[in-house]
Amino acid sequence: MTARYIPIDSQDTASSGSSLPASTASYVDPQSWPDDQRPLLGHSSAATSLYPNEEIDVQDELSYTQPTATIGSCSINLANTILGTGMLAMPSAVASTGLLPGIFVILFSGGASAAGLYFLARCASRTEGRHASFFAISKLTWPSIAVLFDFAIAIKCFGVAVSYLIIIGDLMPQVVASFASDTQPLDLLMDRKFWITVFMAVAVLPLSFLRKLDSLKYTSGVALFAVMYLCIIVIYHYISPNFPPPPPEDVEMIAFSTKFFAQLPVFVFAFTCHQNIFSVYNELRDNSQRSISTVIGTSIGSSAFIYEAIAILGYLSFGKHVRGNIIMEYPPSVFVAGGRLAIVVLVVFSYPLQAHPCRASLDKILAWRTPEARGLKVPPPPSNLKYFCMTTAILIGSYLVAITVSQLDLVLAFVGSTGSTTISFILPGLFYYKIHENDPWKAGKITAVCLAVYGILVMFVCLTFNIMRLINT
């Protein structure tokens, strides 16, 4: 059986008497065609496109567009997207405000992030079929600048992917040193570039080529085990009598200063998973608003609980002088080395969760203004060659940046100030407002506008403080 991707014109549809829904040009899923109206071009498994020089395999196409995800698998993937490097910096972020404000800011950031996810899911329901994306929603709201939104998302996801590789390079030499404490390890094993290369080739590369986000549910489950390991390390060192607490004056209940504005992107970055909400919507078997809300509530709620535990206990263990990476505070031991290795596993399995939306946004950017996608609300899926080239470019680009740059906090600060605020607050609020522009000013519309304004303020203030910090260092 073969199938074609055909831009449907409303006049042609009406004149032909077809039962297909009349609409402006749009992407047509092969499964949506009535059996008696599917264009057959032969009996091979290869499908051809009306777009020149492009062949699409039907079986492959249907295999990755078929919704197979469950609420559980989607919740795990979103939680794994959330629980990454932000976890390690949370005690230091709390130290910038004091304990009580820090607890509140974590909860507020989680609530604001959940609101952004909710608005994006509501907007996704306005798109056609299971092809929701930032690009598709942009076409419904501000089509002339849709490519700019996808560009911002691609840059954000690329920056986070780079931060994951930097963590691998920072932690693996310490893991080797801990397990080889009685001998001098080889210089090669203490080289951060060596470990970035190894993990990139062995694990990151094959996982990043998977087409469906749901295919990562098992690796996400393993990665969440690493989160539990870190929690155990933090709890153990807090309650153990072998590790005395800091002086009372180092633990402040309220300590607001301008340092908070430099650390605020950490709170924002910590809950950013919005780049994957459309994959959840497209792949979830039952993608009703109730199911999507359950996924959002489960992933954000569980992540907020873990963040609170690590932030509170980590801050109480080391006080206001806690470093930006909590795992670096603990004395060397096999137990701690195992935790550092677990964090490496976590970021290795989290990298594809950034590569997936980065590739999707890059595809939309490359398809913008091309003859094949002109007039379509959703561009046709990429050919195998284009898919391979985009993934390879993301992998090579992030690898080259990671072996060159080693300042993790700088990467997180600017990614959180720009990309995270854009896709977490600004775009969800603006999209929802635009779609409901002519509706009465009800609670949802007002909240969406407030969320967008909040995101703009956070971006401006935090970016200004981080630029000043960069200049003064």
What's the 3-state SS for the chain?
Answer: CCCCCCCCCHHHHHHHCCCCCCCCCCCCCHHHCCHHHCCCCCCCCEEECCCCCCEEEHHHHHHHHCCCECHHHHHHHHHHHHCCHHHHHHHHHHHCCCHHHHHHHHHHHHHHHHHHHHHHHHHHCCCCCCCCCHHHHHHHHCHHHHHHHHHHHHHHHHHHHHHHHHHHHHHHHHHHHHHCCCCCCCHHHHCHHHHHHHHHHHHHHHHHCCCCHHHHHHHHHHHHHHHHHHHHHHHHHHHCCCCCCCCHHHCCCCCCCCHHHHHHHHHHHHCCCHHHHHHHHHHECCCCHHHHHHHHHHHHHHHHHHHHHHHHHHHHHHHHHCCCCHHHCCCCCHHHHHHHHHHHHHHHHHHHHHHHHHHHHHHHHHHCCCCCCCCCCCCCCCCHHHHHHHHHHHHHHHHHHHHHCCCHHHHHHHHHHHHHHHHHHHHHHHHHHHHCCCCCCCHHHHHHHHHHHHHHHHHHHHHHHHHHHHHHC
In this predicted structure, what is the pLDDT of residue 414? 74
Any idea what the CATH number is for the domain that residue 147 is in?
A: 1.20.1740.10
What's the structural domain count of the chain?
1
Domain assignment present for residue 18? The answer is no
143 and 421 Cβ atoms separated by less than 8 Å: no
In this predicted structure, what is the pLDDT of residue 264? 82
Domain assignment present for residue 15? The answer is no
Q: Calculate the alpha carbon distances from 459 to 63, 159, 269, 417 in Å.
A: 40, 16, 12, 5
Domain assignment present for residue 384? The answer is yes
Domain assignment present for residue 20? The answer is no
- Grouped pLDDT means (10 residues each) for the chain, 473 residues: 40 37 39 40 38 44 63 87 82 90 94 95 86 82 80 84 87 83 75 92 87 67 81 91 87 83 81 86 89 94 94 92 84 86 85 86 79 62 87 93 76 74 90 92 94 92 80 72
Domain assignment present for residue 9? The answer is no
In this predicted structure, what is the pLDDT of residue 215? 62
179 and 397 Cβ atoms separated by less than 8 Å: no
From first CA to last CA, the distance across the chain in angstroms is 63
Report residue 88 CA to chain centroid gap.
17
Domain assignment present for residue 229? The answer is yes
Give the integer Cα–Cα distance in Å for 372 and 124: 23
pTM: 0.75
Domain assignment present for residue 26? The answer is no
In this predicted structure, what is the pLDDT of residue 466? 76
Domain assignment present for residue 423? The answer is yes
Domain that holds residue 414: 70-472
